């Protein structure tokens, strides 16, 4: 049992040198003809529109703390790529590390050979090599790019490092009801393992647990502990950052009274769910995962699962110097925050906890609407086998864990192009799972037994012992990965494949 993972470990052996890193600035070249929508099998020659270089470098998260992380272009977060919907760009991805890499275009509708997942058959970016891709960005909105390799027990690999960068795809028409935009990437560094200790978070609404799921989940855990197993490993962190800086160490967000600031917030964490509040202000949530919501609503705090994005307008109408920070005192004290400073104000930044409020996707849904009927429904049950894989929790979908390899396998679910599908998910564990569907956008069709419609996403948090439904149209042929975005969960089995038949 304890030797189930050596292939992955040796495969992903990481490097730690920063010597000789060459930073390649983003290079804008002549615009390509906007009529070129098709993905060329062989991308055009010549200069790329963008170059991204993967390398391990020192990152200064605070004056006294310089850590080592694998990043894009020597910076964290990676450069903001502002793309135009439907206008093809050429991107060169250089890999200066000793291990094969994948760059995933999260939230975009792209072919499987460039999506950036080995499970879908995307070729690796070889160590000390380069891969050129031709990308036609879509749909418009806030997307991102990140590594998509499995890390397993290697806490310097995968999303534990600094390979995260924002993408903004300009829509054809921008309503632009704001004064300016600020991009915020939330990310922890310096990970370590602990046994158990993953805190229960009960911020999701509706809160209804399914008794049958709870009974089975608790019985499995009890039986495991009775056999003498300890709790499976979880990951914790020493440094918490926004845009790569611990609270108080980066430049503040400088605002003027009366400004409407559009925040684009990305949770770039490997494993954590984040929250965010700004004392005396509310967030008007206008988009989730980059997709405009049918019912923009004001909330006092944001909750953002791993890889989720929230775009929210804050009206700056409460002058002072404030901390825009995580609700967790411990995480905020370890850096998860950024200062918001009004013009003409100075002094020590203030934090005031907001009154507790639950986070409900339904709040942003089309009021009173029910989802369209699907053509077919897939059932998925998520289960945890405590510490079953060399001390790590093993995760299964309908009883099967994705095998320990970085490559593809026969798909478990089959799609017909043009059909509308529903995935009914049942979570038989106490953990929250930010589930992600590649290469498609889904609609949340129901949460905890309550139907809803109009909220389009690519990641959704499913609460402990809860159930939910997501709908999607099979409109992008090719292998399609579905997985939990929590790195530990996906690495230890929580993945499955769809194909088109």
**Pairing relationship of beta strands 450-451 and 413-415 according to DSSP bridges:** unpaired
**Residue 150 lies near Cu ion (rule: CB under 5 A):** no
Residue 214: its H or E element: helix 211-226
Among residues 361, 378, 489, 493, the one that binds Cu ion under rule CB under 5 A:
489
**Residue 5 lies near Cu ion (rule: CB under 5 A):** no
CB of 270 to Cu ion, least distance (A): 12
Nearer residue to Cu ion within complex by CB, 76 or 492: 492
Of 156-164, 293-301, 408-416, 425-433, the window that binds Cu ion (rule: CB under 5 A) is 425-433
Using alpha carbons, list the distances in angstroms from residue 238 to 198, 266, 309: 15, 20, 23
Nearer residue to Cu ion within complex by CB, 242 or 461: 461
CB of 489 to Cu ion, least distance (A): 3
CB of 485 to Cu ion, least distance (A): 7
Nearer residue to Cu ion within complex by CB, 96 or 308: 308
Residues 428-467 binding Cu ion (CB under 5 A) are 433
* Interacting residues of 346 by C-beta distance below 8 A, sequence separation 6+: 321
CB of 285 to Cu ion, least distance (A): 24
Tokens 């012992």 correspond to 465
CB of 494 to Cu ion, least distance (A): 5
d(CA 216, CA 193): 27
Nearer residue to Cu ion within complex by CB, 51 or 462: 462
CB of 426 to Cu ion, least distance (A): 13
The footprint of Cu ion on this chain (CB under 5 A) covers a number of residues equal to 4
Instruction: Decide: helix, strand or coil at residue 468.
Output: strand
CB of 427 to Cu ion, least distance (A): 9
Determine the Cα angle at 243 with ends 238 and 247, to 5°. Answer: 55
Of 149-157, 383-391, 399-407, 487-495, the window that binds Cu ion (rule: CB under 5 A) is 487-495
CB of 432 to Cu ion, least distance (A): 7
CB of 431 to Cu ion, least distance (A): 6
Nearer residue to Cu ion within complex by CB, 122 or 486: 486
Instruction: Decide: helix, strand or coil at residue 43.
Output: coil
Q: Buried (b) or exposed (e) across 324-348, using 16+ Cβ within 10 A? A: bbbbbeebbebbbbbbbbbeeeeee
Residue 225: its H or E element: helix 211-226
**Residue 483 lies near Cu ion (rule: CB under 5 A):** no
**Residue 488 lies near Cu ion (rule: CB under 5 A):** no
Q: Are 444 and 457 in contact (CB under 8 A)?
A: yes
Task: Give Rg (Cα) of the chain.
Answer: 22
Counting Cα atoms < 13 Å in the Cβ hemisphere of 248 gives 13
Nearer residue to Cu ion within complex by CB, 274 or 334: 274
Instruction: Decide: helix, strand or coil at residue 222.
Output: helix
Determine the Cα angle at 146 with ends 135 and 126, to 5°. Answer: 75
Of 3-11, 50-58, 372-380, 489-497, the window that binds Cu ion (rule: CB under 5 A) is 489-497
Q: Are 432 and 464 in contact (CB under 8 A)?
A: yes
CB of 12 to Cu ion, least distance (A): 20
In 3D space, the residue among 284, 288, 310, 279 whose CA is nearest the CA of residue 299 turns out to be 284
Q: What are the tokens at 78? A: 């990676």
**Residue 486 lies near Cu ion (rule: CB under 5 A):** yes
In SS3 terms, 337-386 reads as EEEEEECCCCCCCECCCCCCCCECHHHHCCCCCCCCCCCEEEEEEEEEEE
CB of 462 to Cu ion, least distance (A): 8
Nearer residue to Cu ion within complex by CB, 75 or 398: 398
- Largest distance between two CA atoms of the chain: 66
CB of 222 to Cu ion, least distance (A): 21
Of 19-27, 123-131, 313-321, 427-435, the window that binds Cu ion (rule: CB under 5 A) is 427-435
Query: Sign of the CA dihedral 202, 207, 211, 217?
Result: negative
Residues 318-377 binding Cu ion (CB under 5 A) are none
Site string for Cu ion, 21-60 (x = CB under 5 A): ----------------------------------------
Cα-Cα-Cα-Cα torsion 48, 50, 53, 57, nearest 10 degrees, comes to 150
Among residues 110, 185, 327, 484, the one that binds Cu ion under rule CB under 5 A:
484
Number of DSSP helices (H) and strands (E) in the chain, helices first? 4, 31
Nearer residue to Cu ion within complex by CB, 51 or 497: 497
Of 69-77, 100-108, 368-376, 476-484, the window that binds Cu ion (rule: CB under 5 A) is 476-484
CB of 401 to Cu ion, least distance (A): 13
Site string for Cu ion, 379-418 (x = CB under 5 A): ----------------------------------------
Nearer residue to Cu ion within complex by CB, 76 or 494: 494
User: For the chain, what's the residue count?
Assistant: 501
Nearer residue to Cu ion within complex by CB, 249 or 394: 394
Nearer residue to Cu ion within complex by CB, 95 or 486: 486
Query: Sign of the CA dihedral 141, 147, 148, 152?
Result: negative
Q: Which residues bind Cu ion (CB under 5 A)?
A: 433, 484, 486, 489
């Amino acid at each position: 049992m304890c030797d189930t993972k050596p292939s992955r470990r040796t495969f992903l052996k990481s490097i730690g040198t920063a010597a000789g890193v060459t930073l390649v600035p983003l290079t804008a070249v002549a615009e390509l003809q906007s009529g070129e929508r098709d993905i060329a099998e062989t991308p055009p020659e010549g200069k790329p529109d963008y170059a991204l270089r993967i390398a391990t470098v020192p990152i200064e998260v605070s004056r006294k703390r310089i850590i080592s992380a694998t990043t894009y272009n020597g910076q964290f977060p990676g450069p903001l790529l502002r793309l135009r919907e439907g206008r093809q760009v050429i991107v060169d991805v250089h890999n200066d590390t000793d291990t094969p890499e994948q760059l995933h275009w999260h939230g975009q509708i792209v072919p499987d050979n460039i999506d950036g997942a080995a499970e879908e058959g995307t070729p690796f970016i070889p160590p000390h090599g380069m891969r050129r891709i031709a990308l036609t960005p879509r749909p418009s909105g806030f997307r991102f790019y990140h590594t998509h390799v499995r890390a397993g027990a290697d806490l310097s690999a995968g999303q534990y490092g600094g390979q995260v960068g924002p993408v903004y795809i300009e829509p054809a028409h921008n309503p632009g009801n704001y004064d300016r935009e600020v991009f915020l990437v939330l990310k922890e560094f310096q990970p370590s393992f602990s046994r158990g200790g993953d805190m229960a978070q009960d911020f999701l609404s509706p809160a209804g647990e399914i008794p049958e799921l709870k009974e089975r989940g608790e019985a499995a855990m009890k039986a495991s502990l009775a056999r003498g197993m300890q709790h499976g490993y979880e990951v914790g962190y020493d440094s918490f950052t926004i845009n790569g800086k611990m609270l108080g160490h980066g430049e503040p967000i400088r605002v003027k009274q009366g400004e409407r600031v559009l925040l684009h917030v990305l949770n770039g964490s490997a494993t954590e769910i984040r929250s965010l509040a700004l004392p005396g202000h509310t967030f008007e949530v206008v988009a989730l995962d980059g997709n405009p919501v049918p019912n923009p609503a004001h909330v006092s705090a944001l909750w953002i699962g791993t890889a989720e994005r929230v775009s929210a307008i804050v009206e700056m109408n409460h002058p002072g110097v404030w901390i825009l920070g995580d609700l967790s005192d411990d995480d905020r004290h370890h850096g998860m925050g950024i200062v918001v400073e009004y013009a003409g104000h100075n002094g020590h930044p203030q934090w005031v906890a907001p009154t507790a409020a639950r986070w409900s996707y339904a709040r942003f849904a089309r009021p009173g609407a029910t989802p369209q009927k699907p053509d077919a429904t897939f059932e998925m049950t998520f289960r945890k086998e405590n510490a079953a894989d060399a001390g790590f929790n093993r995760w299964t979908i309908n009883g099967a864990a994705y095998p320990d390899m970085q490559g593809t396998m026969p798909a478990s679910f089959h799609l017909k192009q043009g059909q509308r599908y529903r995935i009914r998910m049942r979570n038989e564990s106490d953990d929250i799972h930010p589930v992600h569907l590649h290469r498609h956008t889904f609609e949340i069709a129901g949460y905890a037994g309550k139907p809803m419609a109009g909220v389009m996403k690519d990641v959704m948090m499913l609460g402990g012992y809860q159930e939910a439904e997501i709908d999607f149209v099979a409109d992008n042929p090719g292998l399609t990965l579905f997985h939990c975005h929590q790195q530990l969960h996906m690495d230890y089995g929580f993945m499955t494949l769809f194909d088109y038949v």
